[in-house]
């Protein structure tokens, strides 16, 4: 099972402000939807609350230390930690799983993910939540595709 981080990052590494993403780009949302559709997605409780609904066509797996407190909905499951989330995906024989944020979940998943699909937005907004610098010793750039509002970069983990 391939574990893929998907993230949209501004030029200054900002990914969030006041619990939200500080830009709106329909083209980026479309890219996110097309890429993740049909696959499980794993997110932190704050990101789930910020999205405000279950994203359709994908099993939404939400991490929380108190998953029992989250309101249950169709298409969504709340779990205690990333291991539990990944085990659900393996049980479903998922070929791919997407880690969709936020910062705390990205940080944890960067230690073991196979790939990063990073959308570099042509923006420098103010923010309070950041994506870490990508360590070129660990990750190699495999693809780069320039679009009007952003550039999509795909990194794969270097083999040891
Ligand atoms: N630009 C992008 O692509 C992008 C994508 C996603 C999010 N964002 C932004 O990122 C910000 C949110 O990031 P964040 O780091 O503050 O919050 P987050 O990662 O979305 O959620 C944090 C919460 O998730 C739960 N959690 C995380 N790791 C866990 C673990 N290992 N085990 C159990 N529970 C775990 C905890 O919930 P409990 O407190 O319930 O225990 C924790 O408080 C927002 O501004 C959002 O808009 C940006």
- What is the residue-wise DSSP string for the chain? -EEEEEEEE-TT-EEEBTTB-S---HHHHHHHHHHHTTS-EEEEHHHHHHH-SPPTTS-EEEE-SSGGGSPP-TTEEEESSHHHHHHHHHHTT-SEEEE---HHHHHHHTTT-SEEEEEEES-----SEEPPPP-TTTEEEEEEEE-SSEEEEEEEEPP-
User: How remote is the CA of residue 82 from the centroid of ligand 1, in Å?
Assistant: 12
Pocket test for ligand 1, best of 18, 25, 64 (most atoms within 8 A of CB): 64
pLDDT at 14: 98
* Protein residues whose CB sits closer than 6 Å to any atom of ligand 1: 7-8, 15-16, 19-21, 43-47, 50, 63-66, 80-82, 100-105, 108, 129
Range of the domain at 33: 2-157
Average pLDDT over residues 92-115: 97
| pLDDT for 160 beyond 90 | no
The domain that contains 86 carries what CATH number? 3.40.430.10
Question: What spacing in Å lies between the alpha carbon of 19 and ligand 1's midpoint?
Answer: 9
Q: Using 50, 70 and 90 to split pLDDT, how confident is the model at 69? A: very high
Q: How far apart are CA 5 and CA 26, in angstroms?
A: 20
Quote the ligand 1 centre to 63 CA distance (angstroms): 8
The arithmetic mean of pLDDT across residues 55-71, rounded, is 97
CA of 105 to the centre of ligand 1 (A): 6
The yes-or-no verdict on residue 5 having pLDDT over 90 is: yes
- Closest C-alpha to ligand 1, atom 19: 102
* Residue-level pLDDT at 72: 86
Percent pLDDT > 90 in the chain is 98
**The pair of three-digit structure tokens given for residue 124, joined into one six-digit string:** 């420098």
Cα 95 to middle of ligand 1, angstroms: 24
Which of 20, 7, 5 is closest to 126 using CA atoms? 20
Pocket test for ligand 1, best of 44, 66, 78, 83 (most atoms within 8 A of CB): 44
**pLDDT band (50, 70, 90) for residue 45:** very high
- Looking at the predicted structure, is the pLDDT value of residue 73 above 90? yes
Model confidence, pTM? 0.98
How many structural domains is the chain composed of? 1
């Amino acid at each position: 099972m391939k574990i893929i981080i998907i993230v949209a990052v501004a030029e200054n590494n900002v990914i969030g402000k006041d619990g939200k993403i500080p830009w709106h780009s329909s083209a980026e949302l479309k890219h996110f939807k097309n890429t993740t559709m049909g696959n499980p997605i794993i997110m932190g409780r704050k990101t789930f609350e910020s999205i405000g609904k279950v994203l359709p066509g994908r099993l939404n797996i939400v991490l929380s230390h108190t998953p029992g407190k989250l309101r249950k909905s169709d298409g969504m499951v709340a779990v205690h930690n990333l291991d539990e989330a990944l085990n659900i995906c393996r049980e479903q024989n998922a070929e791919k799983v997407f880690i969709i944020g936020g910062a705390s979940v990205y940080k944890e998943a960067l230690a073991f993910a196979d790939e990063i699909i990073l959308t570099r937005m042509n923006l420098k907004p103010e923010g309070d939540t950041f994506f870490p610098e990508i360590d070129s010793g660990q990750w190699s750039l495999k693809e780069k595709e320039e679009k009007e509002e952003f550039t999509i970069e795909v990194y794969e983990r270097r083999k040891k």
